[in-house]
Amino acid sequence: MSFNATRPNLLAAPGVAWLMAFMVVPCLLVLSYAFFQRGTWGGIDYTFTLENFARVADPLYARIFLNSARIALTTTLIAILIAYPAAYAIARAPRMRQPILLFFAVLPFWSNYLIRTYAWIVLLNREGLINNLLRAMGYTGEPLSLLYTESAVIIGLVYNYLPFVILAIYSTLSRLNPELMEASRDLGAGPIRTFFRVTLPLTLPGVAAGGVFVFVLSIGNFVTPALLGGGRFQMVGNLVYDQFLTANDWPFGAALGMALIATMIVLLLVQARATSHASGERRGEAA
């Protein structure tokens, strides 16, 4: 395109300005709040302090952080275990059918998060479908309380983020050179060995990308714990929510939010390193 050197910058300017004004500046503002004290009436008292960060590490809150991390990790692992076979099956389906399968795997992800979570309230509550099915099958005991448990929260999170993991794994599987697997088979490795020694290691970047995404979104989630956990399971997201909307302690909420962002950045960096390491290895093998 016969664009001169300044034209691209001019074209990008409005979008960049918007993102600076309404993403970068607000995030920096919140970051700065984390270094101030809470005002007597809930506002911000502009006196420098590191107390908010110390409170994040306080055993009470550290426990919530660790607990959220545990729930997020469980969610991530389950999502990967379900998504991998699904992505593998899609990648092995007839070529013409792959785009449509992929589309329908991802479609729920774009639709309303609240409604997808609500669907599980319908399924899991005491008068819900699962308890009714059990009764129909001859179960006569007390209805199971499936809702408002940690498992319900994990099911909801897995359900909501599964499509993304399927897509992430599929996108690495689809770029895989089939000759590598054939070579492994020709050299006498069985299908299982080929999978664990060739296919799986080569698709780990996709697994990592999907995993990091699910972990970050789960740990910062407040809707699913509130709806499926019945508010009994505090996660970091709920904690941030409370500080801003009920406890009115914005500086502490800001510090918690920054801890969340820091976790995300660290994980993304680790994942980027792992990915470039893996692709470096692949290049090395090819040479």
Token couple for 148: 């408002």
Closer residue to another protein in complex, CB, 33/61? 33
Token couple for 275: 């990915």
Closer residue to another protein in complex, CB, 67/125? 125
CB 50 within 8 A of CB 264: no
Closer residue to another protein in complex, CB, 150/274? 274
From the list 218, 213, 212, 208, the residue with the least C-alpha distance to 117 is: 218
Q: Which residue among 66, 81, 93, 200 contacts another protein (CB under 8 A)?
A: 93
Choose one: 47-55, 60-68, 72-80, 159-167; the region binding another protein (CB under 8 A). Answer: 159-167
Q: How many CB atoms lie within 10 A of CB 268?
A: 14
Residues of span 238-257 touching another protein by CB under 8 A:
240-241, 244-245, 250, 253-254, 257
Q: Which residue among 80, 102, 154, 214 contacts another protein (CB under 8 A)?
A: 102
225 lines the binding site for another protein (CB under 8 A)? no
Token couple for 121: 């309230």
Three-class SS state of 38: strand
Minimum distance between the CB of residue 172 and another protein, rounded to whole angstroms? 8
Q: What share of the chain is helix, strand, coil (3-state, %, to 5)?
A: 75, 5, 20
From the list 267, 272, 279, the residue with the least C-alpha distance to 213 is: 267
Q: Which residue among 49, 51, 55, 116 contacts another protein (CB under 8 A)?
A: 116
Sorted by sequence, the CB contacts under 8 Å of residue 184 that are 6+ apart come out as 193, 194, 197, 198
Site string for another protein, 175-214 (x = CB under 8 A): xxxx--xx--x-------------x-----xx-xxx-xx-
154 lines the binding site for another protein (CB under 8 A)? no
Q: Which residue among 110, 142, 188, 286 contacts another protein (CB under 8 A)?
A: 110
Residue 121's H or E segment, with its range, is: helix 113-124
Closer residue to another protein in complex, CB, 59/142? 142
Burial label for 39, CB within 10 Å (0-12, 13-18, 19+), is middle
Q: Which residue among 36, 153, 233, 237 contacts another protein (CB under 8 A)?
A: 237
Closer residue to another protein in complex, CB, 153/205? 205
66 lines the binding site for another protein (CB under 8 A)? no
Cα 149 to Cα 131: distance, rounded to the nearest angstrom:
15
- The DSSP letter of residue 149 is S
Closer residue to another protein in complex, CB, 2/59? 2
287 lines the binding site for another protein (CB under 8 A)? no
Minimum distance between the CB of residue 121 and another protein, rounded to whole angstroms? 6
E-assigned strand segments in 29-70: 36-38, 44-48
26 lines the binding site for another protein (CB under 8 A)? yes
